[in-house]
Each structure stands twice: as structure tokens, then as C-alpha cells.
Chain A
């Protein structure tokens, strides 16, 4: 039985998700390079008691092409490392979850694990993490350690392509597995400071991860004690069965991209079926539907904003998620409908920052509260608490001392 209220997240990226966002935003075009920009956005989201913000990241330059630079000068380019942005914001906030994106294809699982664990420590248990697969040649070229074929969505069904996708997901699965084992590699009570025996830790409460896979081996233990949440929240963006399966096996939260309420029902059914098939233990995935949102006081005004953005962009912008264009009340109604279709909440992608975020926090959130769909404030606790996820037992502790 789903909870009565929904979970609400906001996805932050650049000056907004529409490629022409920077043209209409009143912010300094270079604002995303400054911490005060992120502090203001996340602070605003926290004032509205949102569950979490996500921060996008990628190991290549933004582009309108599927892979590689596009030669355009009219769109925002450049970004900072998302995890460090989240860490920079952590001491300035108190309640909201911070969920940066990190590639798992070209990075070291050990570094990723310790960085997210540390984000959990510095934020007092508010860290999440969105592992992302880097399938683009542009990213691979920055590391020089592997060759990838040029992207071609029409050839995904070919056996070689399918194998490549399968490998990338399998490697990502290994990475998340290692990251999670490292989080557990210290039992919560490992630090004992026992002066009579001179021991700072009880080494029987520290555990080797001993992971050996096709792409890497990681001995462990972590250098970072177990994070406050035990396991920080892992969130996966998924559009199809393969990533749903990845999410069901490895994540706590899944961001999905339905096109309407009926489709939302289908997607939820498919995610639940996948959970069943793989025999997922523990709490079910929290399913958050992604929506790009373009808001204004009236539907007509919102449409005009959208038309203006598309005109500046040169074409009607579409992305992997559905776009909502309308008034805050209309959005609240739509979210209520999708909620009835079974999603646990939403990750809203503001088309223009800070404008659409401001409308979300000042108008959409109150409208949801009026409908009894969103809580009035923070109940206190960790991000897991906020999402209704229990603190997991340590996989090594239940096995007893080595």
C-alpha cells in the first residue's frame, strides 16, 4: 500500500533543462560555476521541504549530438564535478538529500565509494548517489583506456551492440556491488579506542570486500568508516527493461520516464514485475517519475514561455522525459493522477533555473499540500528516513567475525 504522500525531488543542471534556458534565465550565465548559485537553489528546495535534489554530471562536454562536440556556440557549456558541488552545499543545508551523479564506467569504484560515504558523513546522513554509465566515445577518449563504437540507436539490436550494452551494465553492476560492499566493510562499532590493549579498532569488525570481477578487483576494506545511513541511497535513471533490472538489483530509488498516467501505470507494473522476477529483497524500489516542467501562472503564459524557448533553440525541444507545460494547479493535478497510477513520487526537471524551481517551491508544493499529497516540513532524520527506507543491516556483521 503506497504512502498517502508523495516524494518530491528536483533535478538540477546548468541553468535549467531546456537547451535555451540560459537565454531566458535572469541569472549570470556563468552562475553554475559559483557555489552561491547551488546554495541558493538547494536552499530554496529545502525551504519547500523537498526530499532531495539531484545534480547532473557527465565526463564530456554538453552536446546536442548523441556523441562528441556539436560546434554550437549558443548553448551552455561547461560544468563542475557534481559530487564536489554536493559536498560544498552539505554544510549549508540541514535536511535535504543530496544526490550527485557519478560515472561508473571510467572511475574507480573505491574512490566513488569513499567519496559518497564521505558525502554522507559531511551531510549527517543525507547522501545519495546516481551511478551513470558512460557509453559515449567522447568520454572514453578522455581516459584512453578503452575503445567504444560510434553511437547508433538504430543498430542496438545487433548482437555486437547488445553485447556491448550488456557489458556496460554488467560492469556498472559490479561497480555498485563493490561500492556497497565497501560501505559495509566497517561495522558500525569497529572503532573501540581500547586503551588497555592499545587498540583503536577491533579488526574483527573490519572486513575485506574481496571482490573479483571481469573489469576490476577490489580487496578492501574501505578507508572510510561506515556512513551514517549505513548505505547511502542509490538512485538509477531507467527507461527500459535492462536498466529496470539493474535498478531492481542494485538501487533504492528508480527515476522513470512515463509519457502519461496510463503509461506510468504500465511502467510501475513493469518495474514491480522485474523486482518479482529477480527476487528483490528488502524494501521495494521507490519509483519517481521524471518530468521536465515549464510553468507559469496560466496555461497560456506557460505555452508562450515554451514557444519562446523553442524559438530561441531553433526547434521544439524534446528529451528522454515528458515535458509538462502549464500552471502550478494543473501540474499538481497531473502529479495526483500519476500518483494514483502507482508512482511513489516525482523528480521534476525545471526547464529554466531558477524560475521554474521557484514556481515549484512557491506554487506547486503548496498546491500539493492543499491536496494532502505532500508533507508540511521535514520530520527529521536521514535521507533514508525521508524516503521510508530502513537503515540496512551490515552484510558482514550478520556473518559474524571472520
Chain B
């Protein structure tokens, strides 16, 4: 049997990938939009639904960023509600460890796993972002070097809590008057650098024991953390060559932790545009790119690289001649840093603009956010399959550009072709997300009650 593709549906997020100006763009807040996308994904037999998280509205030039979709509902609450309107679809959410405590989050995730009968997943992220911290007790500052230390310790504690109730803890013997086998279940203690806690967990063992853990960082520390602790990586590598290199690198790290390559799935984010012909798809792709990069957005995206106020520039005019300001505080806050080498990148952009005769907006359209798969359903199915069979990925987290109907066409036209190729399920064969992903059932890693 050829390698099976993993597919996940990302609810459109708060960046310019999401087109809100299109007449078909619906609410990003109404629950009906979430229901539509989740049910579409389930109709397409997707592995899971994915929700990102926001903890502070983004700012640029010291003001709230207003050009992209702004605002979204709370991740865990939406996922719990979606458990009521889906039956098999995994429910994954990004949840930041910097602004949460393990006891509370472990409890929420174990609850979600119960409420969904084993479909919960957690994308573990950790930030050092003091800007976001202004919304939290902690105040936010976490030294960058401690990010993965905190994340790893957080996950260790969460797993200890999830394991704290033995599988057979609840007896419920009415005749004997015994509700629990042993008194005071859920006992735990953890004394570490980041957390020093002890007591009793309130949530009995959940169906998956460990909700599925995803990791999204790309740094060497992030890769190492994923190799040691995650079930899947949400990666960003767009080309086949980059994807294969990343895949090889990360899977090679697993042996060190006594894990086999199939215990960590690599699932890059991907976008797609379909058409009846390849030419039509290319045309649609270009139209969508123009919707994604409005004149105002073009200037803003340029500012993120230049780190200067470029509001006086003409979106159809030439790029700035001066170099990016690498010394000033970043003008864009509340999003992950995007350009490791701003000056070099700016020079490449200028050269490209000169060579092709592009103004700012057209250049930005050219160099940012190109769609991953563009073509007829046949071509997109072929390319995705090739990507997976070439070990550049184990599957994809698809990011539609429209809410809530952005996945409809993919499910109707591409999924059947993947199924015909024998690389994607036609029916769910399991009930838990671990089963969908082909992951082994989680086993306890700590002795119950161990200190």
C-alpha cells in the first residue's frame, strides 16, 4: 500500500492569506462558519481540524493592525463546541505555554479529549513575547533561551497529569460502596525549574491518554523538542527540496529518543487553487494574490521587512532605496519574526523588481505567500501525492483563503482523486485522532504518583 496522506483543515487565520473582501467571505466569528468548515473536512474524511490562537491583537506602527481579519474566538471553547457537531474529525488547537499553567491546560485538554471521545490535539507553542505578556498575570517576559525548556517541562508535566489516574481508577461498585479503587486518585508531584506543583488531578484518564501533540517551531531547538516530545510537526517548508531536507533532518533526530520515524508525522501548511484547466487555475491564483495583497497591505508587508514607516510610498511605485533598519525596535508586533536577513532580502527584492519592472505591490505579490498547489484537481492530487511519496511530508495542513467555503471545492474535487490513487482513506477506520494518524496508542511514561 502506498504511503497514506494526512490531511488537516486550518480555519482561515488573521493574516493576509485570508481574503475578507471577497463577496463569498463570511463571518470569522459566527459558530456557523466553524461548523461549515469542520463538517466539510469531516465529509472529506480529513484527519483533523486546526485552530490557531491569538492572545493579543497585532500592531504595526504602534496601532492595531486593521488590514487583515482581526479577532477570533477562544480556541478551546470552539473546539469543545465542534465536538458536538462532528463525530470523527480530530480537533487541534494552538495553545501557548508561556501564558498558561500546566494544571489548568492539562485539565482543559483532558476534558476536550473526553468530550470528543478521543479527538483532542494540542499544538504546543511558547513565546518570549513581552508584548503579548501585557495581557497576562505573568507579565510575559520569558528569556528566549528558556522557551523550549519551558515547553518541554510543560509537556512533561501535562503528561504526568494525564497519566495520574489509572485506567481502572473508577470502580463504581454500588453494592460495595466503592466509587474509586484507591483513595484520592490523580496524585502527582513535579518539582522543576519552571513548575513546582503537587496535589491531585481532577480529570480521570481520557480516551487517548495523551492528546496528540503538535509542534510548530522550525529552529534547531524546535526540531529537537519535536523529536523528543511531539507526535506531529506543523512545518512551513514549501518546496520539494526544502521539504525533503527538513523531513530527513527531523526524522533522523528520533532515534536519539528511542523513537521510530513513523512516530513523528511531518505536516506542512499548504494552500491550493483549483481550476478546470491549469491556465484557469493560474489566473484564479493571481486574482486571489491581488485580493490578499491590497495596496495598503503591500506597503505594510514591505514595512515588516524594512522595519521603517513606508506609509508615504506609492504601492505602484518603486521600492525604497535605503536599506531596512535593523537596529530599531520592530515596528510590527504580535507576529512571529519573518526575515532572518532583512538587508540581504531587501537587496534581492530590489534586484527582482528592477529585472521584472515591478512596482511595490506586484513585487510583494511575487515574493510572498505564493500558493503551494495550483492547477486542475488532477494536477493538484498528483503533486500532493508526489510530495508525500517523495518523503517531503506525511501530509498537509490545508489553509483555505476563504471562510467558510474555502475547502468545499477541494473536498468535492481533489479528495476523490486522492482516494482513487489509494493514498487517502474513503472511510474512517478508527475513532480517535491517534488512530487516524496511525500513531500507536499512548503509553504512560511516568509511574503513577511518582515524584
CB of B61, distance to nearest CB on chain A (Å): 11
Contacts of B76 in A (CB 8 A): 84, 87, 115
Report the bound CA distance from A70 to B197 in whole Å.
Answer: 19
Contacts of B252 in A (CB 8 A): none
Contacts of A202 in B (CB 8 A): 66
Is A111 interfacial (CB 8 A cutoff)?
Answer: yes
A-B contact pairs, 15 of them (CB 8 A): A35-B84, A39-B84, A78-B203, A78-B204, A80-B111, A80-B115, A81-B108, A81-B203, A91-B35, A124-B31, A198-B296, A218-B136, A219-B56, A223-B55, A223-B56
Is B318 interfacial (CB 8 A cutoff)?
Answer: no
A-B CB proximity, top 10 nearest: A29-B172, A198-B296, A69-B184, A118-B77, A219-B134, A87-B80, A118-B74, A118-B73, A81-B111, A84-B80
Q: In residues 249-301 of chain A, which contact B (Cβ within 8 Å)? A: none
CB contact between A22 and one of B179, B181, B182 (< 8 Å): that residue: B179
* Contact, CB under 8 Å: A84 / B108: yes
Contacts of B49 in A (CB 8 A): none
Q: Given A91-B85, A121-B30, A223-B57, are A28 and B115 neighbors across the interface (CB < 8 Å)?
A: no
Per-position 1/0 for A193-236, Cβ under 8 A of B: 10101111111001000000001111111111100000000000
Q: Given A106-B101, A186-B71, are A91 and B186 neighbors across the interface (CB < 8 Å)?
A: no
Which of A200, A201, A220, A312 has most B Cβ within 10 Å?
Answer: A200
Q: How many residues of chain A get a CB closer than 8 Å to chain B's CBs?
A: 78
Report the bound CA distance from A215 to B186 in whole Å.
Answer: 30
CB contact between B199 and one of A70, A115, A142, A216 (< 8 Å): that residue: A142
Q: In residues 46-93 of chain A, which contact B (Cβ within 8 Å)? A: 58-61, 69-81, 83-85, 87-92
* Contact, CB under 8 Å: B104 / A106: yes
* Contact, CB under 8 Å: B172 / A110: no
Report the bound CA distance from A162 to B101 in whole Å.
Answer: 28
CB of A178, distance to nearest CB on chain B (Å): 10
In which size bucket is the chain B interface?
A: 35 or more
* Contact, CB under 8 Å: A108 / B136: yes
Contacts of A28 in B (CB 8 A): 172
Residue of A with least CB distance to B200? A61
* Contact, CB under 8 Å: B71 / A191: yes
* Contact, CB under 8 Å: A80 / B114: yes
Contacts of B169 in A (CB 8 A): 78
Contacts of A241 in B (CB 8 A): none
Which of B20, B101, B177, B202 has most A Cβ within 10 Å?
Answer: B202
Contacts of B74 in A (CB 8 A): 111, 114-115, 117-118, 223-224
Contacts of B180 in A (CB 8 A): 73, 77-78
Per-position 1/0 for A111-143, Cβ under 8 A of B: 100110111011010000000000000100111
Contacts of A193 in B (CB 8 A): 20-21
* Contact, CB under 8 Å: A85 / B111: yes
Contacts of A200 in B (CB 8 A): 20, 66-70
Q: Given A78-B203, A219-B135, A223-B57, are A107 and B104 neighbors across the interface (CB < 8 Å)?
A: yes
Contacts of A124 in B (CB 8 A): 31
Report the bound CA distance from A320 to B100 in whole Å.
Answer: 32
Contacts of A143 in B (CB 8 A): 101, 103-104, 197
CB contact between B84 and one of A33, A89, A217 (< 8 Å): that residue: A89
Is A401 interfacial (CB 8 A cutoff)?
Answer: no
Is A23 interfacial (CB 8 A cutoff)?
Answer: yes
* Contact, CB under 8 Å: A217 / B179: no
CB contact between B179 and one of A74, A195, A198 (< 8 Å): that residue: A74
* Contact, CB under 8 Å: A35 / B73: no
Q: In residues 34-65 of chain B, which contact A (Cβ within 8 Å)? A: 35, 54-57, 63-64
The chain B residues found within 8 Å of chain A, CB to CB, are: 20-21, 29-31, 35, 54-57, 63-64, 66-74, 76-78, 80-81, 83-85, 99-101, 103-104, 107-108, 110-112, 114-115, 134-137, 139, 165, 169-172, 174, 177-186, 195-204, 294-297
Contacts of A312 in B (CB 8 A): 177
Q: Given A59-B103, A224-B74, are A110 and B55 neighbors across the interface (CB < 8 Å)?
A: yes
Is A393 interfacial (CB 8 A cutoff)?
Answer: no
* Contact, CB under 8 Å: A60 / B57: no
* Contact, CB under 8 Å: A59 / B104: yes
Residue of B with least CB distance to A185? B57
Is A30 interfacial (CB 8 A cutoff)?
Answer: yes
CB of B102, distance to nearest CB on chain A (Å): 9
Is A144 interfacial (CB 8 A cutoff)?
Answer: yes
Report the bound CA distance from A71 to B180 in whole Å.
Answer: 10
Contacts of B202 in A (CB 8 A): 58-61, 78-79
Contacts of A88 in B (CB 8 A): 80-81, 83-84, 115
Q: In residues 1-53 of chain A, which contact B (Cβ within 8 Å)? A: 22-23, 28-30, 33-35, 39
* Contact, CB under 8 Å: B295 / A198: yes
Report the bound CA distance from A223 to B69 in whole Å.
Answer: 11
* Contact, CB under 8 Å: B63 / A203: yes
CB of A112, distance to nearest CB on chain B (Å): 10
CB contact between A144 and one of B30, B112, B196 (< 8 Å): that residue: B196
Which of A58, A202, A218, A219 has most B Cβ within 10 Å?
Answer: A219
Contacts of B186 in A (CB 8 A): 61, 77-78
Report the bound CA distance from A220 to B178 in whole Å.
Answer: 49
Q: Given A29-B170, A34-B114, are A118 and B179 neighbors across the interface (CB < 8 Å)?
A: no
Contacts of A81 in B (CB 8 A): 107-108, 111, 203
* Contact, CB under 8 Å: B183 / A73: yes
Residue of A with least CB distance to B173? A29
Residue of A with least CB distance to B35? A91
Contacts of B64 in A (CB 8 A): 201, 203, 206, 221
CB of A87, distance to nearest CB on chain B (Å): 4
CB contact between A108 and one of B35, B112, B137, B170 (< 8 Å): that residue: B137
CB of A292, distance to nearest CB on chain B (Å): 20
Contacts of B35 in A (CB 8 A): 91
* Contact, CB under 8 Å: A29 / B66: no
CB of A385, distance to nearest CB on chain B (Å): 19
Contacts of A78 in B (CB 8 A): 165, 169-170, 180, 185-186, 202-204
CB of A59, distance to nearest CB on chain B (Å): 7
CB contact between A198 and one of B67, B84, B103 (< 8 Å): that residue: B67
Report the bound CA distance from A206 to B67 in whole Å.
Answer: 14
CB contact between A141 and one of B114, B197, B203 (< 8 Å): that residue: B197
Which of A77, A143, A202 has most B Cβ within 10 Å?
Answer: A77
* Contact, CB under 8 Å: B77 / A119: yes
Contacts of B181 in A (CB 8 A): 73
Residue of B with least CB distance to A211? B135
Residue of A with least CB distance to B194? A144
* Contact, CB under 8 Å: B196 / A225: no
* Contact, CB under 8 Å: A80 / B197: no
Report the bound CA distance from A305 to B128 in whole Å.
Answer: 58
Report the bound CA distance from A311 to B56 in whole Å.
Answer: 54
Q: Given A79-B203, A88-B115, are A115 and B84 neighbors across the interface (CB < 8 Å)?
A: no
* Contact, CB under 8 Å: B81 / A122: yes
Residue of B with least CB distance to A62? B202
* Contact, CB under 8 Å: A144 / B197: yes
Report the bound CA distance from A81 to B206 in whole Å.
Answer: 13
Report the bound CA distance from A124 to B31 in whole Å.
Answer: 9
Q: Given A74-B177, A91-B31, are A220 and B135 neighbors across the interface (CB < 8 Å)?
A: yes
CB of A338, distance to nearest CB on chain B (Å): 34
Contacts of A84 in B (CB 8 A): 76-77, 80, 108, 111-112, 115
User: A107-B104, A200-B20 provided; 4 other pairs, C-beta below 8 A?
Assistant: A85-B111, A111-B99, A199-B296, A202-B66
Residue of A with least CB distance to B99? A108
